[in-house]
Amino acid sequence: MAAGAPVKPSASVRTEVREDGVALVTLDRPARHNAIDLTMAAELAAVWRGFRFDDSVRAVVLTGAGDRAFCTGIDRSVEVPQPPSPYSVDDPLLTVGPKAADLWKPVVAAVGGMACGGAFYLLGEAEFVVASENATFFDPHTSYGMVSAYEAIHMAQRMPFGEAARTALMGTAERLSARRAYEIGLVSELTAPGEAVPAALRAAGTLASFPAEAVQGTVRALWAAKEAARERAMAVAPHLIALGNGPAALQEGLFAARDRAYRVR
């Protein structure tokens, strides 16, 4: 793969490998707030798997197209068939992150606008997050009669417990400002609007300039430090979802009647 050239045309994910060894991956459904449909989910999984075999990629920046949203989780128009057993839940977002693909090259998330719900599957598998001042973070699940399981797990791994709990439980009533996210450590660098991607590319360029084995070994060590708790929590998550999610009709009704007012803190 030639550096500086796009990987291959994609319906919803744009990927460009730069001369400095950084791959810029862009979620490209801005009209849908970069929500993830089944096509995007499959494309993301393929991108991460491809990077495992591509020595020209030594670090990655992940962002969303447009200035309204980084990602708003799964597209609500997507229908995901579910097995009848309460012990099994099919979740297409489980494979959208780099760690799910066994990729240990460093990933920096660059966030502008909204990052909510299933976006935490991606943020939770990045090494660190750079956000512009217009970024906001929230999790709407409880407002719509749904269990925040995987999202809450990812948040609890990246945020102080009380902040993760408040964000997961308050649903659409509150949004975490970029400033507050920076104060609690979810965000590692705060930038002016529109500057998150350049800042993330600068950081990723530094990572790409170091010996790859040392960088990837450090990434793997960092994740090993929290893997046991994460694996146990992830094993419980599908059962909590099966038991606690309201019927689809209830979810749709709550979504349609949602209160669009919210507090930013």
pLDDT tens for the 265 residues of the chain, in order: 444 444 444 689 999 999 999 999 999 999 999 999 999 999 999 999 999 999 999 999 999 999 999 999 999 888 887 778 767 777 889 999 999 999 999 999 999 999 999 999 999 999 999 999 999 999 999 999 989 999 999 999 999 999 999 999 999 999 999 999 999 999 999 999 999 999 999 999 999 999 999 999 999 999 998 888 888 888 888 878 777 888 888 888 888 888 888 889 9
Quick check: helix, strand or coil at residue 109?
A: strand
What phi and psi values does residue 159 have, to the nearest 5 degrees?
A: -135, 155
226 within a domain of the structure (yes/no)? yes
Strand partners, 226: none
CATH number at residue 175: 3.90.226.10
| pLDDT for the residue numbered 10 | 60
Cα separation of 180 and 203, whole Å? 22
Range of the domain at 238: 13-81+91-193+212-264
Q: How many beta carbons lie within 10 A of that of residue 258, not counting itself?
A: 14
Cα separation of 229 and 206, whole Å? 30
Cα separation of 82 and 91, whole Å? 9
Record the pTM.
Answer: 0.89
129 within a domain of the structure (yes/no)? yes
Contact assessment for residue 58 and residue 21, using Cβ atoms and an 8 Å cutoff? yes
116 within a domain of the structure (yes/no)? yes
Cα separation of 137 and 148, whole Å? 14
227 within a domain of the structure (yes/no)? yes
Q: How many domains are there within the chain? A: 1
152 within a domain of the structure (yes/no)? yes
119 within a domain of the structure (yes/no)? yes
6 within a domain of the structure (yes/no)? no
218-251 core/surface letters (b: 16 or more CB in 10 A; e: else): ebeeeeeeeeeebeebeeebbebbbeebeeeeeb
User: Residues 6 or more apart from 200 whose CB is under 8 A from it?
Assistant: 61, 63, 108, 109, 110, 130
1 within a domain of the structure (yes/no)? no
Q: What is the pLDDT of residues 138-197, one digit of tens each?
A: 999 999 998 999 999 999 999 999 999 999 999 999 999 999 999 999 999 999 999 999
